[in-house]
């Protein structure tokens, strides 16, 4: 049902794009500065990010309207629609905004909706400012009216790739939610790893709402692979379950490395403190958090936060996460841009899109209007240069927020910072602004993080790989013959072997920090000495000898 409606909307709009009619213009407001400017916002109130972002946006609107230095005499009026974690509702709610005279929309919350409604926004010239969508593929060339007011995963994935390289690992497994957000983030991780001559050796996609069984099936596959470096790029709804299942499968122990993208830090920031059981599952994980420099402005807002959340009917925790800060700054960015727009004589007028008139449908598409000077507002948004809660706030020519940086955190009871990553200086134990007025130096000897505590309470850096266990075992050929029985001989009637060589071999295996499954196979007929020629022939068929002890050959197949 949802899919059918989705298609109806898209088809109608795509047809609209094909013809290029003129539009009729009327002035909605004749005064030079309107008394009210309407903006919309679109996100899911029920999510961890949505719940707190709503409070931040309301606080920002109140602050803007109370501040005589911006939009003097003009009130910002915001209408909030709940997309209720549904791509379909997100699209419909966005269309509803386009029917009212809305100059810009704050949202959407997720990448799936952003891909669809960015087409509509371009068509109707209404800027979309998303403080949550990190999907790096939403390009300004394809979607000129999509403005990202948070960090692109382009940078988060660079940070993860540099961490992998810094620790000397080569291959990672990626577990991700199989939608635009997950897929496109992980594709970027692949690119960034390739620049470091590293790679994703196994991709494990997960449905949006996975069951415990789905996760178990997936993690069993992951455990069979060679890499022990697992990057998890999902939403908070499935994240905890992943680590819970991983724990039950013994995958949160020594030897494993888990790197969670910023969904985990966001979740912990919002819901902290968690129950001790939940926290214990997470020990040793590394995660990232968007870095925002310390400032007087930010400190004031943090101390105000408990007032803002007090008495709010919340269905869950209301801790302050970085998206709260970006949501607040996004409203101010828009206020400054609208102010500049009005100062330049910009008019808030709307026209009926003549390409849509005459399309009679229950969706009432012909009521959607084009914001005539939307492009001028967009240019003002991109030119804005302000300092907000998140620090200096403005755009590079590629339309990314300036100075991308992350904190690198080690979950151990709580979150302990082990360093920073910035686009400017790479990995460091000092905050990024220490470096901005020095020449950039990314030389590898400058890269540094504090030592984390790894899974299994280990302080030793995991080597990052094991012999793959996916149904293949080391086959070890053992001479089955008459002489040198003290070195190796088969226990009669069993397939076990004893002897000096076997003892040396198992002692050596026990020293390795990972398990090597193997099978001893008698080689020869037990009467004649086994033939060296036959052994050499085996090697030519792809079996290779890696260890020899007085008559014991270790053959790897």
Toward ligand NAG, which CB reaches closer, 344 or 385?
Answer: 385
Is 168:449 a contact under the CB 8 Å cutoff? Answer: no
What SS3 state is found at 130? strand
Whole-angstrom distance, CA of residue 162 vs CA of residue 421? 9
> Nearest-CA neighbor of 497 among 545, 539, 551?
551
Toward ligand NAG, which CB reaches closer, 238 or 281?
Answer: 238
What SS3 state is found at 346? coil
Per DSSP, what are the bridge partners of residue 176? Answer: 205, 233
Closest approach of Cβ 329 to ligand NAG, in Å?
Answer: 14
Toward ligand NAG, which CB reaches closer, 118 or 428?
Answer: 428
Q: Give the helix ranges, DSSP H, for 204-290.
A: 212-223, 236-248, 263-271, 276-281
344 makes contact with ligand NAG (CB under 6 A): no
The one segment of 9-17, 239-247, 442-450, 537-545 that binds ligand NAG by CB under 6 A: 442-450
Interface pattern 205-244 for ligand NAG (x via CB under 6 A): --x---x-xx------------------------------
List binders of ligand NAG among 69-128 (CB under 6 A).
Answer: 69, 72-73, 82, 84
**CA 480 from centroid of its chain's CA atoms:** 55
Q: Which of 102, 238, 321, 423 binds ligand NAG (CB under 6 A)?
A: 423
| Tokens (6 digits) for 53 | 């972002």
> Nearest-CA neighbor of 291 among 444, 429, 399, 151?
151
**Crossing angle for the helix pair 87-99 and 2-18, nearest 10 degrees?**
40
What SS3 state is found at 232? strand
Q: Which of 65, 400, 458, 521 binds ligand NAG (CB under 6 A)?
A: 400
Is 259:230 a contact under the CB 8 Å cutoff? Answer: yes
How many other CB atoms are found less than 10 A from the CB of residue 369? Answer: 23
Toward ligand NAG, which CB reaches closer, 9 or 268?
Answer: 9
384 makes contact with ligand NAG (CB under 6 A): no
> Nearest-CA neighbor of 227 among 198, 248, 197, 206?
198
Is 233:266 a contact under the CB 8 Å cutoff? Answer: no
Toward ligand NAG, which CB reaches closer, 40 or 284?
Answer: 40
Closest approach of Cβ 250 to ligand NAG, in Å?
Answer: 22
Closest approach of Cβ 124 to ligand NAG, in Å?
Answer: 13
Whole-angstrom distance, CA of residue 162 vs CA of residue 149? 24
The one segment of 231-239, 250-258, 299-307, 371-379 that binds ligand NAG by CB under 6 A: 299-307
Toward ligand NAG, which CB reaches closer, 30 or 540?
Answer: 30
Interface pattern 239-278 for ligand NAG (x via CB under 6 A): ----------------------------------------
Closest approach of Cβ 100 to ligand NAG, in Å?
Answer: 12
483 makes contact with ligand NAG (CB under 6 A): yes
Q: Which of 529, 547, 549, 557 binds ligand NAG (CB under 6 A)?
A: 529
Is 420:406 a contact under the CB 8 Å cutoff? Answer: yes
Q: Which of 482, 496, 512, 539 binds ligand NAG (CB under 6 A)?
A: 482
Is 274:268 a contact under the CB 8 Å cutoff? Answer: yes
Whole-angstrom distance, CA of residue 336 vs CA of residue 331? 9
Q: Which of 299, 304, 473, 519 binds ligand NAG (CB under 6 A)?
A: 304
Cα→Cα distances 447→165, 203, 285, 454, Å: 11, 28, 20, 20
Q: If residue 8 lies in a helix (H) or strand (E), which one and from where to where? A: helix 2-18
Q: Which of 12, 80, 297, 367 binds ligand NAG (CB under 6 A)?
A: 367
* Burial class of residue 19 (count of CB atoms within 10 Å of its CB; 0-12, 13-18, 19+): exposed
Interface pattern 147-186 for ligand NAG (x via CB under 6 A): ----------------------------------------
Closest approach of Cβ 27 to ligand NAG, in Å?
Answer: 4
Toward ligand NAG, which CB reaches closer, 292 or 410?
Answer: 292
Q: Which of 416, 528, 537, 550 binds ligand NAG (CB under 6 A)?
A: 528
Toward ligand NAG, which CB reaches closer, 453 or 535?
Answer: 535
Cα→Cα distances 382→394, 403, 405, Å: 7, 15, 20
Toward ligand NAG, which CB reaches closer, 375 or 396?
Answer: 396
Tell me the number of residues near ligand NAG by CB under 6 A.
35
Listed in sequence order, the residues at least 6 apart from 461 whose beta carbon sits closer than 8 Å to its beta carbon are: 167, 451, 454
Closest approach of Cβ 439 to ligand NAG, in Å?
Answer: 6
Is 59:80 a contact under the CB 8 Å cutoff? Answer: no
| Tokens (6 digits) for 225 | 């692979």
The one segment of 137-145, 321-329, 394-402, 506-514 that binds ligand NAG by CB under 6 A: 394-402
Question: For 79, how many CA atoms within 13 A lie in the half-sphere containing its CB?
Answer: 17
| Tokens (6 digits) for 431 | 């905050």
Closest approach of Cβ 358 to ligand NAG, in Å?
Answer: 9
Interface pattern 13-32 for ligand NAG (x via CB under 6 A): -----------x-xx--x--
Whole-angstrom distance, CA of residue 417 vs CA of residue 431? 11
The one segment of 225-233, 284-292, 399-407, 515-523 that binds ligand NAG by CB under 6 A: 399-407
434 makes contact with ligand NAG (CB under 6 A): no
Residues that bind ligand NAG (CB under 6 A): 24, 26-27, 30, 68-69, 72-73, 82, 84, 207, 211, 213-214, 303-304, 307, 352, 366-367, 385, 394, 396, 400, 402, 404, 423, 441, 443, 445-446, 482-483, 528-529
């Amino acid at each position: 049902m949802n899919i059918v409606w989705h298609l109806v909307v898209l088809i109608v709009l795509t047809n609209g794009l094909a013809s290029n009619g003129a539009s009729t213009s009327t002035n909605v407001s004749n005064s030079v500065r309107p008394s009210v400017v309407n903006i919309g916002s679109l996100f899911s109130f029920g999510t961890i990010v949505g719940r707190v972002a709503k409070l931040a946006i309301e606080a920002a609107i109140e602050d803007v309207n109370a501040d005589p230095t911006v939009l003097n005499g003009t009130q910002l009026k915001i209408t909030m629609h709940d997309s209720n974690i549904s791509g379909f509702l997100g699209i419909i709610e966005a269309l509803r905004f386009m029917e009212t005279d809305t100059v810009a929309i704050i949202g959407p919350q997720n990448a799936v909706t952003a891909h669809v409604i960015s087409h509509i926004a371009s068509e109707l010239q209404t800027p979309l400012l998303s403080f949550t969508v990190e999907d790096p593929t939403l390009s300004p060339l394809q979607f000129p009216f999509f403005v990202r007011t948070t960090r692109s995963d382009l940078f988060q994935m660079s940070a993860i790739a540099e961490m992998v390289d810094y620790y000397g690992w080569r291959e990672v497994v990626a577990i991700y939610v199989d939608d635009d957000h997950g897929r496109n983030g992980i594709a970027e991780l692949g690119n960034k790893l390739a620049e470091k001559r590293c790679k994703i050796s196994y991709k494990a996609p997960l449905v949006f709402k996975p069951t415990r069984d789905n996760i178990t099936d997936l993690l069993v596959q992951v455990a069979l692979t060679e890499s022990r470096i697992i990057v998890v790029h999902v939403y908070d709804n499935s994240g905890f379950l992943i680590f819970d299942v991983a724990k039950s499968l013994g995958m949160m122990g020594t030897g494993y490395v888990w790197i969670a993208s910023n969904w985990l830090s966001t979740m912990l920031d919002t819901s902290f403190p968690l129950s001790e059981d939940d926290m214990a599952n997470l020990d040793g994980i590394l995660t990232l958090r968007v870095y925002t420099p310390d400032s007087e402005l930010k400190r004031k807002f943090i101390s105000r936060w408990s007032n803002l959340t007090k008495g709010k009917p919340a269905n869950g925790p209301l801790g302050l996460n970085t998206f709260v800060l970006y949501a607040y700054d996004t409203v101010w960015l828009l206020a400054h841009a609208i102010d500049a727009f009005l100062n330049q004589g910009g008019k808030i007028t709307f026209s009926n899109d003549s390409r849509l008139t005459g399309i009679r449908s229950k969706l009432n598409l012909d009521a959607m209007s084009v914001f005539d000077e939307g492009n001028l507002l967009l240019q003002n948004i991109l030119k804005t240069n302000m300092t907000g809660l998140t620090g200096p706030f403005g755009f590079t020519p590629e339309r990314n927020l300036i100075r991308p940086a992350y904190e690198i955190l080690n979950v151990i009871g709580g979150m302990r910072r082990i360093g920073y990553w910035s686009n400017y200086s790479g990995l460091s134990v000092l905050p990024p602004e220490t470096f901005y007025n020095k020449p950039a130096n990314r030389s590898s000897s400058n890269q540094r993080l504090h030592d984390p505590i790894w899974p299994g309470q280990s302080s030793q850096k995991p080597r990052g790989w094991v012999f793959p266990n996916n149904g293949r075992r080391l086959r070890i050929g053992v001479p089955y013959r008459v002489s040198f029985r003290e070195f190796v001989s088969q226990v009669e009637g069993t397939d076990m072997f004893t002897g000096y060589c076997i003892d040396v071999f198992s002692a050596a295996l026990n020293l390795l920090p990972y398990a090597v499954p193997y099978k001893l196979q008698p080689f020869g007929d037990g009467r004649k000495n086994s033939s060296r020629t036959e052994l050499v022939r085996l090697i030519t068929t792809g079996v290779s000898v890696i260890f020899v002890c007085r008559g014991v050959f270790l053959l790897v197949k």
